[in-house]
Each structure stands twice: as structure tokens, then as C-alpha cells.
Chains A and B, each alone.
Chain A
Amino acid sequence: MSAKSVAGSPRTVAYGDWIITFGLIAIMAGAYTLSLKWPANAAFFPRLLSAVGLILCLLNLGALIWQTLSPAPAAVPARAGGGHGSDDVQLVEGDEDQGNEDEFHKIFTRADKRMWGSVVSWIVFFFVGLYTVGLLVTLPVFTVLYLRIVAKASWLVCLLYVLGTAGLIYLLFDLLLHLPLPEGVFPILGS
């Protein structure tokens, strides 16, 4: 969840692609290296897959380099002809195949630093809360704060919301299924 994205210019898209490609190259190379220590039969599949994955990632890297080096004609929407055989299709911005995922892509691309910052902080807040004090505390605190600050909901809505979710969870997890709920490392409530 990098906060560095600005608008959806082709350059920034490529910038993310570089990082992903290098990240995947590192993962594949690491996976291959780790597999060297294992006995042959255990290592066969991981080694095969990481090797194939590594080659594919390098191909993708090649495609990226090609794409950067060859000046894209500004007027042509489809920067076709880059790289390797079948993957030339992928480089098209706003590919018609993408539908819903494309919509998500647009939302993620358009969001500015400030928006990413605020969303990421909320999520970090939620998970840190979950980790430290567990669900029973995090649920009402996060819900009320988020609903008040972001959704601008009234106190009544917050109250009903928290009671509703907590009630549902209690009914399902405690009464019906007898399932434990995630507890934090410093539980305040519960056992």
C-alpha cells in the first residue's frame, strides 16, 4: 500500500510494475535458493516452479525495459508491439477485458497521498488494536471512531451499529458456535 502514487500517468504505472517485477524476481530467486538445500524429491516442484517463475519475471523485466526505451507514440492508445509474443496485449491501458478490476484500478490510481495516508492509518489502527487488545475492544472503538469521523454518522447510528455487530457476533460465536474470538496479546476483557 504505497502512498507514493500520484495520478494515473503511464510513468507511475510503470514505476509500480518495476517494483513488482523486481520483488517477484527476488521472491523467485529466493525460493530457488532455498530449495537447493532440500532432498531431490522435495525440491523438484519448488525448483521447477521458481525457475520457470524467474524466467517469466525476467521476460517481464525485458518487456518493461523495451517499453521504457521505445518511445511510445502519444496518440496511439494501445502501445502494442512491446516485448514478447502474447504479452503485448497486457500493456494496454484501460484494457477492455478488465471491467470491474479496472474500476478498482482507477480508484486506487486516482487516490492521492493524503487519502492513502488516512486509509492506511485507519487500517493500521484496526490491526494494531486487534493484535494488542483483541477484537472485543477493537470492535467498538474502531467502529465508533470510524463511523463518527469518516462516515459522519450520528451517535445513535454508532450505538446501534456497535450493538448490532457485537450482538450478532455474540449470538453466532459465543452462543451458537462456541468459537473463541481473536484475543490480543494484552487482553483487557475476557479471560
Chain B
Amino acid sequence: MLDAVLSGLLQVLSPDSMMLMMIGIFIGFVVGVLPGIGGPVAMALMLPFTFGMPPIHVFAFLLGMKVVTSTTGDITAVLFGIPGEATSAATVLDGHPMARKGQAGRALGAVLMSSLVGAIIGALALGLSIPVIRPIVLAFGPPEFFMLTVVGLIFIASLSRGQMLRGLIMGCLGLLIALVGIDPQAGVPRYAFGQLELWDGIGIVPVVIGLFGGPEILQLMLSKESIAGKSASRKIVGVGQGILDTFRYWKTVAVAGLIGAGIGVIPGVGGSVAQFIAYGHAKQTSKHPEEFGKGSIDGLLAAGGNNNAKDGGALIPMIAIGLPGSVSTAILLNAFLISGLNPGPEMLTTHLDVTFSMVWITIIANIIVVILALPLLKPLARLTFTEGPILVPFLLILVVLGAYAENNRMFDIWVMATSAFVGVVCLRWNWPRAPLLLGAVLGDLCERYLFLSSSLYGWSWIQRPLVIVLAIAAVAILFKTGWDVRKHARDRQAASLKEVRS
């Protein structure tokens, strides 16, 4: 096994693969900044360039590109409040408020460093899981996937920002949005209104971009101020501080990374749920939970640490049994097949070096991107001090192209515009948006796995041990959230009464 570890490293360090990795990193860096185009879309479009390359070169190029887009996507999320993918929406929740407070430098430093730490955790999880990889992956079936969506949905409550009723309503709306399209049980087009474009459901990328990017652009157009506002000092400080923060809050980052790597393993559900679990967990353990959503450094670190770790986790089921965990890994799986590799036992025996090369590529590419990005952070952070109107045309084009690129159709631009409208209405009248997103991400998965569980196992799936564990976790989280909300409300009521009396 140690041979394979070394051989994997040496093959990655060969001039050819390093060269390809650098090209991949460069492309990923530029493309990753564009929301919606970064992750899977860029990989899919670059796939043909790998035709005919040896496997390790393919992964140096594609995987190098993928890990970089995750990181640079966070840069856009922090600076402009537009998440690049549905799986990295949590970065916006605290990263962007920091930028608006004039702390873009610190936020970028923190997100960059925590991404690196998270990526290393994810890569190590992949490397360490190799001896036990198959039984682990096979232990999770539709019932476990279903329970995980339930755990994810519970976070609607903690994302409601103290507006439980409105949060639940938005969550329901999000879940309903996820159900649009041909249903898997009876083949009925639900809520499609005769539009073929709606048969495959509403794309989550245009929804995320619109929901978060729309209000941001409108806000710039209305206020005509820079993102960081007039009040903030124009001096950009704190990239170094952000990096230090990562190590100061190392526990938060490490736990977020472990959650990402662990839950990222679960195909389909993992990536989108992991970020909210990591974020919610950080909030519940933080000393300053009230700062979450306002520019909390632990919140951002949790999101950043989780984001790149889940990429490592998502590789695990793909390598073990050929089951891709995310859209990006589905494309990597195709790259596997094209380069003549077969996921499964072969990857753990004859091609073990290739498997380890993927671990190394994840680590090395992440280190390189940190080194490359560091000198750019200051100039990038300066963008938040640019006059708002100057940014508007650029941002408008960014959101339009981001919505369009996935499927090349105008329809998605209208989905994006509608989501932007919903986002603005939500903010104007104080309705929470995050539960809507969470519902939209999880709704169809929740339904599909519930039906699959019951048609595969009847009701006996409820007795599966992992299901019970997850159910206990769900109840515990629910109680903890309820407790926090109650306590918070009581504290505040007491405080406001005091204020009135004095």
C-alpha cells in the first residue's frame, strides 16, 4: 500500500502531470470565478481535451481544475454574494456580510485557508478509507439517504433566523419547487404547465444565482454605493488575519471538514446537506451564535472548510463501486471509463496508485491555488470598494451567463430572473431565503428515497441501525434548535422589557 502511495505521488509530480495540473488550475481559476459555470460545467466541457491521455494526467487536469473551481467560486461568493453552486451557498451567508463590513480581505484569507485545510481533510479521508471503502459505501442505501435528507431539512429551522413560521413556509415552497417535473413514480409531469423545459425540474443553479445574486445587484443599483459601503475604511487589511483565524478556530474548521468528508460520501444528498450541517453545527457550538448571518468568522470558516472537504468525500463511492456522489464526480466517472479504468476493486488493487494519485492531486492543487491566489486577494478585495454602478453591468452578465451555461437555454435565464424577484421580495419584507433554497435542493431527493425505501423494504427499513442512528441525531438537532430559539427569544424579551422599564 505504501508503494502505491509513493508511486501515486511520483506520478503526480512528473513534469507532464504537473504541467497539465497547472493548466487545469489556471482554467479552473478563471472559470471558477463565474457562478454556475465553475464546477461541473467547466469539467464537462474540458473532458474532451483529456481524450487519449493516460489516467493520471486526466485526473491531474480535471481534478486539479475541479478543486480550484470550488475555491475560486468562494471568492465570488464572498465578494459579490453570488454562490457558484448550490453546494456552496453557505459561504455567502457569512462571507458576504464580512465583505460588506469592509472585511473582504479577512474573509477571503479565511475562506482560502479553510478551503485548503478542508481539502486536505477530505483527501485524507479518501486515503484512509481505502481499506474499508466498499463495506462503508454499501452500508448506505435509500433508507439512509432518506434519513439524511430529513436531517438536512431540520436545518430549515435554524436557517430561519428566528422567524420559524416564515422559515417553514419558505421551506415548504422550496420543497414544492423541487417537485416540479416528471415524477419518478407515475411519470406525471407535475406543475409543468405544458412546458417541456420543466420536465426535468427546475435547475438549482439558476435558482441559487437568482435568489442570492438578484438582490445583491438590485441593492447596488438602488444604493449606488460600493459593496463595502461608504462607512467602511478604504484600507484593505486582514488577509493575513483571515489566514490566522483559520488556525485560531482550527476546531471549527476541522469539524466542518470532517462533516464535509463524511457526509459528502453519500451520493446525491451529501454535498448539499453537508454545508448546512457543518454551518448549523458551527452555529450551535459557537460562542457567538448571534453573529451568524451577520459576518461571523466561524460561520465562514465552517462553510469554507466543509466545501472542499466534501469533494474528497464524494470521490469515495465513485472509486468504490462506480456510484458518483455529485454532478462533478459523475463527469469524473466518465473520465474514468474513457481512460479505460474501472471503478471498483481494480481501483483498490491493480490501480491503487491512481486512487492515491487522486488524493495527492487534491492536496497539491489546493496548495498551489492558495499560493497563486494570495497575491490576488488584495486587488480582488478592492473590488468591494468600487462604486456600485460600475459593477452592475458586469454582475448582470455574470448572473445571466451563469444561469444560461448549464443547459444553454433562455428558459433558465427566466428562472434566474424569477428567483431574483423572489429574493428581493423576501428581503424587502423580511422573509428568510435560505430555507427556500434548502427545500429546493432536498425536496425531490427526499421523496425519491422515501418511495425507494418503501418499495424496496416495505416498512422494515425503519429498523435499519443506521436509520435509527440518523433518526436520533435528527431528533437531537431538532430539540437543540428549539431550545436555542426559545432561549434566544426569552433572553431578548427580557432585554427589551428591561429597556422599556429603564
**Which residues of A does B touch, CB under 8 Å?**
1, 5, 13, 16-17, 20, 24, 27-28, 31, 34-35, 38-39, 41-42, 45-46, 49-50, 52-53, 56-57, 59-60, 63, 75-78, 80, 83-84, 86-90, 92, 95-101, 103-105, 107-109, 111, 115-116, 119, 122-123, 126-127, 130-131, 135, 139, 142-143, 146-147, 150-151, 153, 157, 161, 165, 169, 172-173, 176-182
- Contacts A38-B190, A86-B485, A147-B389; A24 near B176 (Cβ below 8 A): no
Residue B401 contacts which of A20, A50, A88, A169 (CB distance < 8 angstroms)? A169
Whether A150 pairs with B163 at a CB distance below 8 angstroms is no
- Mark B213-226 against chain A: 1 for CB-CB distance below 8 A, else 0: 00100110111100
Whether A78 pairs with B492 at a CB distance below 8 angstroms is yes
- Mark B478-502 against chain A: 1 for CB-CB distance below 8 A, else 0: 0000000110110011001001100
Give 27 A-B contacts (CB < 8 Å), ordered by A residue: A13-B429, A28-B172, A39-B185, A42-B190, A46-B179, A49-B443, A53-B172, A60-B166, A78-B493, A83-B165, A86-B489, A87-B163, A89-B489, A90-B166, A99-B291, A99-B293, A101-B161, A101-B427, A104-B215, A107-B223, A109-B428, A123-B221, A130-B400, A139-B397, A146-B392, A150-B389, A180-B408
Residue B34 contacts which of A122, A126, A172 (CB distance < 8 angstroms)? A172
Whether A119 pairs with B165 at a CB distance below 8 angstroms is no
CB B168 to nearest CB in A, in angstroms, measures 5
CA distance A150 to B430 in the complex (A): 28
- The A-contacting residues of B in range 275-329, CB under 8 angstroms, are 290-291, 293-295
- Contacts A49-B176, A182-B413; A56 near B165 (Cβ below 8 A): yes
Residue A34 contacts which of B27, B191, B295 (CB distance < 8 angstroms)? B191
Q: Is B164 in the interface zone, CB < 8 Å from A?
A: yes
Instruction: Give the A-B pair count, Cβ closer than 8 A.
Output: 230
- The A-contacting residues of B in range 142-186, CB under 8 angstroms, are 161-166, 168-169, 172-173, 175-176, 179, 183, 185-186
Residue A87 contacts which of B165, B417, B443 (CB distance < 8 angstroms)? B165
Whether B408 pairs with A130 at a CB distance below 8 angstroms is no
CB A65 to nearest CB in B, in angstroms, measures 14
Interface of B (DSSP majority class): helix
- Mark B64-85 against chain A: 1 for CB-CB distance below 8 A, else 0: 0000000000000000000000
The 7 closest A-B pairs by CB, nearest first: A99-B294, A53-B172, A87-B165, A100-B97, A151-B389, A90-B163, A42-B186
CA distance A100 to B427 in the complex (A): 10
Measured between beta carbons, the chain B residues less than 8 angstroms from A101 are 161, 293, 427, 430, 432-433
Whether A147 pairs with B430 at a CB distance below 8 angstroms is no
- Mark B1-39 against chain A: 1 for CB-CB distance below 8 A, else 0: 000000000000000000000000001001100100100
CA distance A101 to B212 in the complex (A): 11
- Contacts A45-B447, A100-B295, A105-B428; A131 near B397 (Cβ below 8 A): no
Interface of A (DSSP majority class): helix
Whether B390 pairs with A153 at a CB distance below 8 angstroms is yes
Q: Is B375 in the interface zone, CB < 8 Å from A?
A: no
In the complex, what residue of chain B is closest to A91 when comparing beta carbons?
B163
CA distance A111 to B220 in the complex (A): 12
In the complex, what residue of chain B is closest to A81 when comparing beta carbons?
B493
Residue B500 contacts which of A75, A109, A143 (CB distance < 8 angstroms)? A75
In the complex, what residue of chain A is closest to B46 when comparing beta carbons?
A177
Whether A100 pairs with B397 at a CB distance below 8 angstroms is no
CA distance A47 to B397 in the complex (A): 38
Whether A172 pairs with B428 at a CB distance below 8 angstroms is no
Whether A53 pairs with B389 at a CB distance below 8 angstroms is no
